[in-house]
Amino acid sequence: MMEEGVIRDVFKSYNRYPVPVSVSIMTEKGICFDTKTKNLTISTEWSQCDVDRGIRLHFSQHWNLQCNGNILKKSVCLGPSINTHGEILSRYSPSGVHRAVIRDVVGHQYLEVWGCNGLEKSLDLTAMNKHGKVYEDAQFACLVWSPCEEKLLYVAEKKRAGPSANDSGSLGVLEEDDKNVYVEDWGEGLVGKSVPVLCVANLTKGEVTMCPGVPAHVSPGQASWTGDGQTVIFVGWWHEPFRLGLKFCSNRRSAVFSIDLKGNCELVSCDSGSVMSPRLSPDSLWLVYLQGKVFGPHQQCLCMMLYDMKNRTTSVLVDVVKRAEEGQFMGVYEPLPLHCWSSDSERLFFSSACENRKLLFSVERQTGRVTPVQDTVWKEFGSVKLLAVMNDLMVMSCSSPNHPPSLEVGFIPDGKHKRTVQWSHLGGADAYEGFDWESMMITPTPEEENHQFSGIRFGAMLLKPASCFKAVRFPLVVFIHGGPHSHFAAEWNVTAAALSKLGFAVLMVNYRGSTGFGQDSIDSLLGNLGSQDVKDVQRAVLHVLQNNKTLDPDRVAVMGGSHGGFLACHLIGQYPEFYRACAARNPVINAATLLGTSDISDWRYSSVGLEYSFDQLPSAQALSTMLEKSPIVHAAQIRTPVLLMLGGKDRRVSPYQGLELYKALKSRGSPVRLLWYDDGHSLSKVETQSDCFLNVALWFKQHLNINRTSS
Q: What amino acid is encoded at 329 in this protein? A: F
> Rounded to 5, what percent of the chain is helix, strand, coil?
20, 35, 45
Is 108 assigned a catalytic role? no
In order, the DSSP letters of 291-334 are EE-SSSSSS--BEEEEEETTTTEEEEEE---S---TTS---B-S
**Alpha helix ranges (H) inside 105-176:** 125-128
CA 641 – CA 300 distance, rounded (Å): 35
Catalytic residue from among 397, 562, 598, 682: 562
Q: Quote the DSSP letter at residue 389.
A: E
Q: 3-state DSSP call for residue 120?
A: strand
Q: Where are the alpha helices (DSSP H) in 502-616?
A: 519-524, 532-547, 563-574, 591-594, 601-607
DSSP assignment of 104-116, as one string?
EETTEEEEEEEET
Residue 436, beta-bridge partner list: 464
- Are the CB atoms for 164 and 174 separated by under 8 Å? yes
Instruction: Give, in order, the Cα–Cα distances in Å from 607 to each of 577, 612, 621.
Output: 28, 10, 15
Q: Confirm whether 650 is a catalytic residue.
A: yes
- Cβ–Cβ under 8 Å, residues 86 and 97: no
φ, ψ (nearest 5 deg) of residue 667: -70, -20
Q: Cα(first)–Cα(last) distance of the chain, in Å?
A: 13
3-state secondary structure of 128: helix
Q: What is the C-alpha to C-alpha distance for residues 516 and 385, in angstroms, rounded to an integer? A: 14
Q: Which of 392, 523, 602, 650 is catalytic?
A: 650
Instruction: Please pick, among 606, 681, 691, 710, the residue that the annotation labels catalytic.
Output: 681
Q: Report the 10 Å Cβ neighbour count for 453.
A: 21
Q: At what angle do helices 4-15 and 686-704 cross, to 10 degrees?
A: 140
* C-beta of residue 519 within 8 angstroms of C-beta of residue 320: yes
Taking CA atoms, 603 is separated from 482, 523, 611, 612, in Å, by 13, 13, 10, 8
> Mutual orientation of helices 494-501 and 686-704 as an angle, nearest 10°?
40
What are 210's strand-pairing partners? 199
DSSP 225-273: E-TTSSEEEEEEEE--S-----TT---S-EEEEEEETT--EEE-S-SSS
Separation CA 603–CA 298 (nearest Å): 7
Rg value, the chain, Cα? 26
DSSP class of residue 446? G
Phi, psi of 401 (to 5 degrees): -55, -25
Measured CA to CA, the distance from residue 189 to residue 651 in angstroms comes to 8
Residue type, position 190, single letter: L
352 is known as an active-site residue? no
Catalytic residues: 562, 650, 681
